[in-house]
Amino acid sequence: MKVLVINAGSSSLKYQLIDMQTEKAIAKGGCERIGIEGSFLKHKANGKEVTITRPMPDHKTAIELMLEALVNKEYGAISDMSEIDAVGHRVLHSGGDYDCSVLIDEEVKKVCLGNADLAPLHQRANIMGVDACKAVMPNVPMVATFDTAFHATMPEKAYIYGLPYEYYEKYKVRRYGAHGTSHRFVSQEAAKYLGVDPASFKVITCHLGNGSSISAVKNGKCYDTSMSFTPLGGVPMGTRTGDLDPAILEYLSDKTGMDIHELLFMCNKKAGVMGVSGVSSDFRDLRDAAASGNHRAQLALDIFTYACKKYVGAYAAAMGGTDCIVFTAGIGEHDHEVRASIVEDMEYMGVCIDQEKNAHPTDGICDITGKGSKVKVLIIPTNEELVIARDTAEIVSNL
Ligand code: ADP
């Protein structure tokens, strides 16, 4: 079975064609600048990489171009479109309505659009991707995998805010979290790797990338997560603030004259380690700047790792300890100093890493647990597309 995985954004569309027998991507790529001037497609398959510049006024044109690339004799991966057995779509928000992936029909689409206010830019774009695929491949079954679904199992005490309860009832204001597909994948991979039963396994998963979130996963289910009503909450990120006292917004509004939209734009795009350092949102740049004596770059790194450490400690407390800590995503997989700082001085809770293994990890899953550590510490490369493909294949096989 071959599954096409689609991640549609408002002006972009990423894709992977995955062969379920090998679970490997046989083609991948993305369209950028959809709907604006200068749109292009980057495509990789068959050991070849091409960039095709062509006007893409909408997502339907982008999907058509992607399909053309997939069946291209020279740089394609399949000979005919009929080889695509199913399409799995990344959809941002389940709005608490779904706790797992679902086959897309008109009702599911309606529910997704009903939740669009919770993530206006992403959700509508995701559904635009679904419609565009449907128009071009009307008979291919499609599945939605939600970023928030894994977090649907959180207990009420973890997702209800200290706000008047009516805002939850009337407007669905609650913690939803994000990166659920990644947290689910790495927590399951950790249990598999360690040969333990996920049903009696506590793990703290640290997805640290441009956007970062940390989850407590207890007995195979999400127990708590750091991202909040939107992906703005939790630890400070590349350009996002993370948790913030809301009173700061009124104070800053009075001082600067910025309205709520401008303030939230700043919190999303100009804050985080970028805002603190004034250097970059990229941790490689921050490391370089800090090494050459830039105090604010070092401070940004310290603020980030300190916030992560506090979440790890909090989640160990919340779950009554942890058996494992997992690092994943761009920073979690590649920045050994971040990993070392987060778990530094955690011997009191049975956590210690092997500094040598941490500094020179092997590819794939890498165990960096130190001697005598009660808690396993693992690096696990995330693979959200594979989760979407697996869910899609499973649902479609049972049709
Ligand atoms: P996204 O959230 O956009 O998917 P990624 O998971 O790809 O982000 O993570 C991107 C971030 O990972 C980059 O901004 C960079 O800070 C960090 N990163 C990637 N490679 C390295 C590396 N070798 N060392 C340190 N940081 C890295």
Cα-to-centroid distance, 57 and ligand 1 (Å): 31
At residue 10, the pLDDT reads 84
Q: Is any ligand 1 atom within 6 A of the Cβ of residue 185?
A: no
> Which residue in the list 147, 224, 323, 391 is annotated as catalytic?
147
Say if strands 202-208 and 324-328 run parallel, antiparallel, or are unpaired: parallel
Cα-to-centroid distance, 306 and ligand 1 (Å): 18
Cα-to-centroid distance, 48 and ligand 1 (Å): 25
Decide if 170 is inside a domain.
no
Q: Is any ligand 1 atom within 6 A of the Cβ of residue 396?
A: no
Residues 98 and 217 in one domain: no
pLDDT digits (tens), the chain, 399 positions: 999 999 998 889 999 999 999 999 999 999 999 999 999 999 999 899 999 999 999 999 999 999 999 999 999 999 999 999 999 999 999 998 999 999 999 999 999 999 998 887 789 899 999 999 999 999 999 999 999 999 999 999 999 999 999 999 999 999 999 999 999 999 999 999 999 999 999 999 999 999 999 999 999 999 999 999 999 999 999 999 999 999 999 999 999 999 999 999 999 999 999 999 999 999 999 999 999 999 999 999 999 999 999 999 999 999 999 999 999 999 999 999 999 999 999 999 999 999 999 999 999 999 999 999 999 999 999 999 999 999 999 999 999
| pTM (two decimals) | 0.93
Residues 117 and 230 in one domain: no
CATH number assigned to the domain comprising residue 243: 3.30.420.40
Q: Is any ligand 1 atom within 6 A of the Cβ of residue 283?
A: yes
Residues 82 and 198 in one domain: no
Ligand 1 atom closest to Cα of residue 212:
2
Contact at 8 Å (CB) between 355 and 368? no
Return the structure tokens found at 71.
């069946």
Contact at 8 Å (CB) between 220 and 187? yes
Spatial distance between the Cα atoms of 289 and 229, rounded to a whole number of angstroms: 33
* CA-nearest residue, atom 27 of ligand 1: 331
Residues 125 and 210 in one domain: no
Decide if 35 is inside a domain.
yes
* CA-nearest residue, atom 12 of ligand 1: 330
DSSP 8-state class, residue 372: T
Q: Is any ligand 1 atom within 6 A of the Cβ of residue 99?
A: no
Residues 139 and 198 in one domain: no
| Domain total of the chain | 2
Q: Is any ligand 1 atom within 6 A of the Cβ of residue 330?
A: yes
**Is the four-CA dihedral 66, 67, 70, 72 of positive or negative sign?**
negative
Cα-to-centroid distance, 382 and ligand 1 (Å): 12
Residue 302 is among the residues annotated as catalytic for this protein: no
Cα-to-centroid distance, 63 and ligand 1 (Å): 28
| Phi, psi of 253, rounded to the nearest 5 degrees | -65, -45
Q: CB-based contacts of 135: which residues, under 8 Å, 6+ apart?
A: 60, 63
What burial class does residue 136 get, using C-beta atoms within 10 Å of its C-beta: 0-12 exposed, 13-18 middle, 19+ buried? Answer: middle
Find, among 389, 281, 300, 363, the residue nearest to 19 by Cα: 389
Residues 107 and 202 in one domain: no
At residue 145, the pLDDT reads 97
Find, among 150, 148, 218, 149, the residue nearest to 184 by Cα: 150
Q: Is any ligand 1 atom within 6 A of the Cβ of residue 180?
A: no
Residues 236 and 344 in one domain: yes
Indicate the residue among 149, 184, 211 that finishes a domain. Answer: 149
**Is the four-CA dihedral 366, 216, 340, 271 of positive or negative sign?**
positive
Decide if 269 is inside a domain.
yes
Residues 241 and 349 in one domain: yes
* CA-nearest residue, atom 7 of ligand 1: 330
| Region label for 220, one of left (φ > 0), alpha (ψ between -120 and 50) or beta (otherwise) | left
Q: Is any ligand 1 atom within 6 A of the Cβ of residue 64?
A: no
Range of the domain at 218: 194-379
Residues 251 and 342 in one domain: yes
Residues 370 and 261 in one domain: yes
Residues 276 and 365 in one domain: yes
Q: Is any ligand 1 atom within 6 A of the Cβ of residue 332?
A: no
Q: Is any ligand 1 atom within 6 A of the Cβ of residue 209?
A: yes
Find, among 315, 332, 148, the residue nearest to 218 by Cα: 315
At residue 274, the pLDDT reads 97
Decide if 23 is inside a domain.
yes
Find, among 122, 211, 307, the residue nearest to 130 by Cα: 122
Cα-to-centroid distance, 95 and ligand 1 (Å): 28
Report angle CA 285, 229, 306 to the nearest 5 degrees.
40
Cα separation values, 267 from 230, 254, 264, Å: 12, 16, 5
Residues 259 and 367 in one domain: yes
Q: Is any ligand 1 atom within 6 A of the Cβ of residue 66?
A: no
Which of 7, 92, 274, 282 to mutate for ligand 1's pocket (most ligand atoms within 8 Å of CB)?
282
At residue 334, the pLDDT reads 97
* CA-nearest residue, atom 19 of ligand 1: 330
Decide if 387 is inside a domain.
no
At residue 282, the pLDDT reads 95
